A and B are shown apart, each in its own frame.
Chain A
Amino acid sequence: MDLLRFSTAGSVDDGKSTLIGRLLFDSKGVFDDQLQAVARSTVNRSAGPIDLSLLTDGLRAEREQGITIDVAYRYFHTPSRKFIIADTPGHEQYTRNMATGASTADLAIVLVDARYGVLTQSRRHTFIAALLGIRHLVVAVNKMDLVDWRQARFEQIVSDYLAFSDQLGLEAPTFIPLSALLGDNVVEPSAHMPWYRGPLLLHHLETVEVTGFEASAPLRFPVQLVIRPDLDFRGFAGQLAAGQVQVGDEVVCLPAGTRSKVARIATYDGDLQAAAAPASVTVLLEDEIDVSRGDMLVHPEQLPMIVRELDAKLVWMDGQPLDLARPYLVRHTSRSVRGRVAKLAHRIDVNTLEHIATDTLNLNEIAQVRLNLAQPLYVDAYADCRATGSFVLIDPLTNATVAAGMVDRHQSPQPHVHTDFRRLDRAGRAALHGHRALAIALEGPPELSARVAAELEIRLLQRGIQALRVDAAFAHPLTVATAAPLGEVAASLIERLIEAGHVVISDLPRLAEAGRLTPADLVRVSMSEGGSADLHIDAGELSAAAVVTRVLTWLSDAGLFAGSAMLGRGAGI
């Protein structure tokens, strides 16, 4: 048995709730006590002996107003499939709820009232379904009983609808004439419409092909968290967003660009040789490379787009309009970066598809925008991969989710960002990381130096700098393997890490004297008296944290991370 998620959109009077009630009722998805509750309901409606719509109208406020005000999820199953329905309102002010319901759906049912034909709201529902990337659209032409079951009326609606939907580049919708109230063509064929030879609604839902799409796409594995119970196990836990991963695969970790091979795919039920989206697994790599939440493992020959400037469509979902001057949090897979809407190209009228010039964006409006991101995101076009093509904007002050975004296939050229790791030189990495590579050598009392090094690494990482501390423990495996002196090994490691674009922090003694690093790549910070250094700090009674603040301020003032948006903004380091 597999799973189909579908959404329904329709207006108050289209009979949407009745249709869902009918699906639940006829597939035996309604329990007796639910029917009794409906029968007990004090709301007086005139839809006949039993009003199936009351099965789905959940909250009291809705029962009072007679409209569905939010997304409600319903469940039923048949012998072949389990279904999750996202039941969304069609009323004008609730576009955001329709988008929410459609975001996880494989299929959408758009309801059209046979008496009124293709109305503005039918077009709006279709547009939002297309925008949210729904591949299978069912147009349920409801209330056929009220137009005397006439074939001509149905065909007119099909023709009107296609005239609109063809503009959206949608795959051919499935049109079904039915009566949700009486049950015709929902589960059982209609005795009233012998002229209709297409599928019945439930049968169509049971048989439409929906699986396998994510699994055949390029690998996208956003790391959710690192599981490291002991030194023998360091696993990267996450849910495959797309594609398939196998033991032995070479993978690239974004954004660092470091490579390794998949050593194990661990699950509670034992290791796997391969796993495909949407499985949740834990990946272990052959090498000890730096991987953390927000990183993404991909195959080297199938990289996503790496963007700092992001072209996308936005659905605004908050009562407060978009503020072009403010930064928002961009939440994409397991990664959050700051960003602002740098360009508002135009608004798209959901009813006419017209492009309208605008300087802001209000609740339920949809627009073409360009975001400027403080850190890169690794994205695919929403049309190719929902999981890596979608994002939400969060207001960092109110914490409200204010917008949903869909990544465009065509991205404008990226300023200074290399997207090809096969030919990524040092300058390219600097552009990608948003800062230059650097070695910071700390000299001073060993205990203080160690504390400062550890703190500095964290503070830099928190600000999006690719920082790494190289100490004796880090270099130890190589000193054992090569039998070379620690200083020699560390200098060599640092040299390589700088080539890879990192900011390396080291409190190893006499590093500067090793002479392997070019002075331009080296900042010497001294916490003791005398000697030569780029920066002298009289540590005295200062705490390690205070020393670190001095170092960060000096680095920032020296313009060493000028390319870094986080530091460049003067983010209070």
Chain B
Amino acid sequence: MQVSAVQRQHIPVAALSHLQALEAESIHIMREVAASFERSALLFSGGKDSIVMLRLAEKAFRPGKFPFPLVHIDTEHNFAEVIDFRDRRAAELGEKLIVRSVEDSLRQGRIVERAGQDNSRNRMQITTLLDTIAEHRFQAVFGGARRDEEKARAKERIFSFRDPHGTWDPKNQRPELWNLYNGRIHDGEHIRVFPISNWTELDIWHYIDQEKLEIPNIYYAHRRPVVVRSGMLVPVSHLLQPAPGEVVEERTVRFRTVGDMTCTACIASEAADAKAIIDETAVARVTERGATRVDDQVSEASMEDRKRQGYF
């Protein structure tokens, strides 16, 4: 590198904190997608990780518009608070929101519901998501998955290639070096992009606090009727009634994730704001998924199985 004899006068610039470094990396990833693909989409569920993604998109593209629509694959098993929030946030941002429903896929006979108590719609989302990608011919789809969530995710690339069937092949991933992402695809293939791969749950909460991001109120402590099932506090709702022998009790709880109402548990907590949650998360002894996802416990490899089929 040629270094001149002229010494530049530098204004001192503070080194980036770990959160600023993660933010800069995520913004870079989003801009790479915007510049490399004609048609991309950002999955926005109203959950906290996708709320952080929206703020990162604002940081990447304002004062311009987002170069992609928001997409939600609605299981119709969602908490009403989250759906309200989803619609309001999209409207505030003035960005386009596309909603496609698992119910539609069921009605069209694209998927069949399994009977039984652990009747999760996570698997069913796969078909609706892939149909939506095909419908809009999306070449890249942003997801808010983090590598600290689960062991299979820990190995996934930031630009994660999907074949025309939406399949992820963990043994045949493209090498991903430095910050040079390979987004080249043929027709029908697509790339799942995970800009917050390197964030942890704690980073997310620090960011929500730092950015003063509004999130659905069920993330904070509230009173709710629950039953204790497999050691977890499961919320009672019109979709989930107590099984014979289970006792409904009202507890002060919060949700760490806000997915499918039938398989998302809550935890006992008094945390009423992001700071209190940070204090709790910093000492939490159970991972986010372990605390709240009934379906992941079915088998040790269940996430890996779902991901191979096209799940996020």
Asked if chains A and B come from one complex, the reply is: yes
**Chain A residues engaging chain B, CB cutoff 8 angstroms:** 1-3, 31-34, 37, 40-42, 58-61, 69-75, 77, 81-82, 84, 96-97, 99-100, 103-104, 211-212, 215, 217-218, 224-225, 227-230, 233, 237-239, 244, 246, 267-269, 273-276, 278-280, 293, 299, 301-305, 317, 329, 331-332, 334, 380-381, 384-387, 390-392, 394, 396, 399-401, 404
Q: Which of B3-36 contact A (CB under 8 A)?
A: 3-4, 6, 8, 10-11, 13, 15-18, 20-25, 27-28, 31-32, 34-35
Instruction: Give the chain A neighbours of B147 by CB distance below 8 A.
Output: 73, 75
Residues B170 and A59 in contact, CB atoms below 8 Å apart: yes
Name 14 extra pairs, CB < 8 A, besides A31-B290, A269-B59, A334-B35: A58-B152, A58-B155, A103-B178, A224-B31, A227-B63, A244-B8, A268-B58, A274-B13, A280-B25, A301-B6, A304-B1, A305-B2, A331-B182, A392-B177
Q: Are A276 and B60 closer than 8 Å at their CB atoms?
A: no
Identity of the chain A residue whose Cβ is nearest the Cβ of B57 in the assembled complex:
A268
Q: Which of A82, A246, A273, A302 contacts B3 (CB 8 A)?
A: A302
| Pairs across A and B, CB under 8 Å, 5 listed | A71-B155, A225-B34, A228-B64, A274-B10, A317-B175
Closest 5 CB pairs of A and B: A33-B290, A301-B4, A280-B27, A3-B18, A58-B151
Is A246's CB under 8 angstroms from B11's CB?
yes
Which of the residues B8, B15, B171 comes within 8 Å of A69, measured between beta carbons? B171
CB of A120 to closest CB in B, whole Å: 23
Q: Is the pair A70, B11 in contact by a Cβ cutoff of 8 Å?
A: no
Kindly list chain A residues whose C-beta atoms are within 8 Å of the C-beta of B65.
229
Question: By the criterion CB–CB under 8 Å, are B13 and A399 in contact?
Answer: no
Interface SS of chain A:
mixed
In the bound complex, CA of A390 to CA of B177 (Å): 9
Q: Does B62 contact A (CB under 8 A)?
A: yes
Is B176 in contact with chain A by the CB < 8 A criterion?
yes
Binds A, one of B104-112, B196-204, B215-223, B244-252: B196-204
Report A-chain residues with C-beta under 8 Å of the C-beta of B178. 103-104, 386-387, 390, 392
Query: How many Å from the CB of A163 to the closest CB on chain B?
Result: 30
Asked if B287 and A34 sit within 8 Å, CB to CB, the answer is yes
Whether A280 contacts B4 in the complex (CB less than 8 A), given A103-B177, A215-B15, A268-B58, comes out as no
Bound complex: CA A102 to CA B61 (Å):
31
- Judge whether B154 and A60 touch: CB under 8 Å: no
The one of A70, A211, A386 in contact with B170, judged by C-beta atoms closer than 8 angstroms, is A70
Complex: A544 Cα to B71 Cα, angstroms = 38
Q: Say whether A75 contacts B13, CB under 8 Å.
A: no
Q: For residue B158, which residue of chain A has the nearest CB?
A: A73
Chain B contacts with A in 250-290, Cβ cutoff 8 A: 284-287, 290
Between B24, B154, B186, the greatest number of chain A beta carbons within 10 A of the residue's beta carbon is seen for B154
Tell me, in angstroms, the Cα distance from A74 to B175 when the chains sit together. 18
Contacts of A380 in B (CB 8 A): 1
Q: Which residue of B lies closest to A210 (CB)?
A: B15
A84-B198, A100-B176, A386-B178 known; A280-B23 Cβ under 8 A: yes
Contact B28 A32 (CB under 8 A): no
Interface check B230, CB cutoff 8 A: no
Given contacts A60-B304, A227-B64, A244-B10, contact A303 B154 (CB under 8 A): no
Say whether, besides A33-B287, A392-B180, A401-B175, A75 and B200 are in contact (CB < 8 Å): yes
Complex CA gap A339/B157 in Å reads 26
In this complex, what residue of B is CB-closest to A241?
Answer: B179
Q: For residue A215, which residues in chain B have a CB less than 8 angstroms away from its CB?
A: 13, 15
Q: Are A33 and B286 in contact (CB under 8 A)?
A: yes
Query: B residues within 8 A CB of A329?
Result: 184
Asked if B31 contacts A237 (CB within 8 A), the reply is: yes
- The residue on B at minimum CB distance from A274 is B11
With contact pairs A278-B24, A280-B24, A404-B177 given, residues A218 and B58 touching in the complex (Cβ less than 8 Å): no
